[in-house]
Amino acid sequence: MMFLDQAKIHLRSGAGGDGCVSFRREKFLEFGGPDGGDGGKGGDIVFEAVPGLNTLIDFRYRQHFRAARGGHGMGANRTGRDAPDLVIPVPVGTQILADDPQRTLLADLVAPGQRVVLLRGGVGGKGNAYFKSSVNRAPRRFQKGAPGREMSVWLRLKLLADVGLVGLPNVGKSSLLNALTRARARVGDWPFTTLKPQLGVAAHRGREVVIADIPGLIAGAAAGAGIGDRFLGHVERCRLLLHLVDATSPHPVADWRTVRRELAAYGAGLADKPVLPLLSKVDAVSPARRAQALARLQRATGMAPLAVSAASGEGLDELLGRVLEALPAPRTAVLAPAAWSPLDATGA
């Protein structure tokens, strides 16, 4: 399935049904009173986070969503039918942003089953029975249903993972993901083999850890080079970063610093997240060169890097053990109140 992490869609909630003008007419009751019913409520626009989805590709083929209108009122004081809500399923981790220059955050769906009412449907209009009074016994007045609300929004998917793999292109992130999990990420001996984020689940000591692999970062990624700003968004929610440095690189410390600068430039707390430095592809270099690279990285990072090889499996068990130590508690999510709506917060 094609991966898509950003989409713009247009929404319109349902209009309310019109009230009815009607008078009671029965045999032997020539001048019955007004009995026009009220219109029904229009459908709301509701977003729901559902498990099993990990892309916004469906919104490439459908960008307009419109809820149904409420039913019109009828005689005999019959109220029109309320229209059903239009529920739009999205992946867990989807953010809903306003279509304004600031891209204001309207909702963040981070738990399966979480719902948000983004646009409420219009209320139904009153029938003529509502306007009956002592001075107007036969009103012909009625209300039209309130129109639905309309707006455009951006959907942005930020993957929910415990661990994020970061590094320059072609440092072995996809190979490591495949070795640690049952993912089948594409692997190749050229830069930018990975063009979209990948997820995998690693099992170790009775625990499961979700790992995200994002395409390689280059200088200027935080400013959008190679659409790196969108890739970095997928590790915003990660609790731990694994920073891979290629052991075959002639400048491992410079490679480390390049990625660290991009994390700091992007912001969103990425530079402050816990990080484990990894020296990858250690099977491809001599023991002397490995030791030299490890020593240089340790001096530059102030941490003891771990030597790993996806090809030989070296260091993978130790890596998973250190990951579990850095993630003492499983991720827990709290459902937002089902009745909450951005419109409630703004007083609209």
Kindly provide the b/e burial profile for residues 141-169, where b requires at least 16 CB atoms within 10 angstroms of the residue's own CB. ebbbbbebbeeebbbbbbbbbbbbbbbbb
Containing 9, the helix (H) or strand (E) segment is strand 6-12
Q: How many CA atoms lie within 13 A of 297 on its CB side?
A: 28
Would you state the pLDDT for residue 340?
42
Q: Give Dmax (Cα) for the chain.
A: 109
167 and 303 belong to one structural domain: yes
Instruction: Read off the CATH number of the domain in which 47 is found.
Output: 2.70.210.12
Residue 1, domain member (yes or no)? no
Tokens of 299: 């001096």
Under 8 Å between Cβ of 153 and 9: yes
Query: Residues 104, 229: one domain?
Result: no
Same domain (yes/no): 109, 66: yes
Residues 242 and 177 in one domain: yes
pLDDT in tens, the chain (348 residues): 455 778 999 999 999 999 999 998 877 777 788 999 999 999 999 999 998 787 888 898 899 999 999 999 999 999 999 999 999 999 888 999 999 988 899 999 988 899 999 999 999 999 999 999 988 988 999 999 999 999 999 998 887 778 888 888 888 888 888 888 865 544 444 344 444 677 778 888 788 888 888 775 655 444 444 444 566 777 787 888 899 999 998 889 999 998 888 888 877 788 888 889 999 999 988 999 999 999 999 999 899 999 999 888 889 999 998 988 888 665 544 333 344 444 444 344
* CATH number of domain containing 266: 3.40.50.300
pLDDT of residue 201: 82
Containing domain of residue 217, as a range? 163-326
pLDDT value of position 200: 79
| pLDDT given for residue 184 in this prediction | 58
Q: Can you read off the two tokens belonging to residue 199?
A: 């997820």
In terms of domains, do 135 and 57 share one?
A: yes
Total-model pTM: 0.69
282 plus 342 within the same structural domain: no
Residue 185, C-beta contacts closer than 8 angstroms, at least 6 positions apart = 174, 177, 178, 194, 198, 200, 213
| Burial class of 23 by CB neighbour count within 10 A (0 to 12, 13 to 18, 19+) | middle
Query: Number of folded domains in the chain?
Result: 2
Residue 47 and residue 67 in one domain: yes
CB atoms within 10 A of CB 119: 25
* pLDDT given at position 329: 62
Residue 97 lies in a domain: yes
Q: Does residue 119 sit in the same domain as residue 106?
A: yes
Q: Does some domain include residue 331?
A: no
pLDDT tens, residue by residue, 56-91: 888 988 999 999 999 999 999 999 999 999 999 998
Displacement of CA 143 from its chain's centroid (Å): 40
Answer yes or no: do 201 and 287 share one domain: yes
181 and 138 within one domain: no
Whole-number pLDDT of residue 263: 83
Q: State the pLDDT at residue 74.
A: 95
Q: Is residue 241 part of a domain?
A: yes
Q: Do 51 and 131 reside in the same domain of the chain?
A: yes
Whether residue 172 is found in the same domain as residue 233: yes
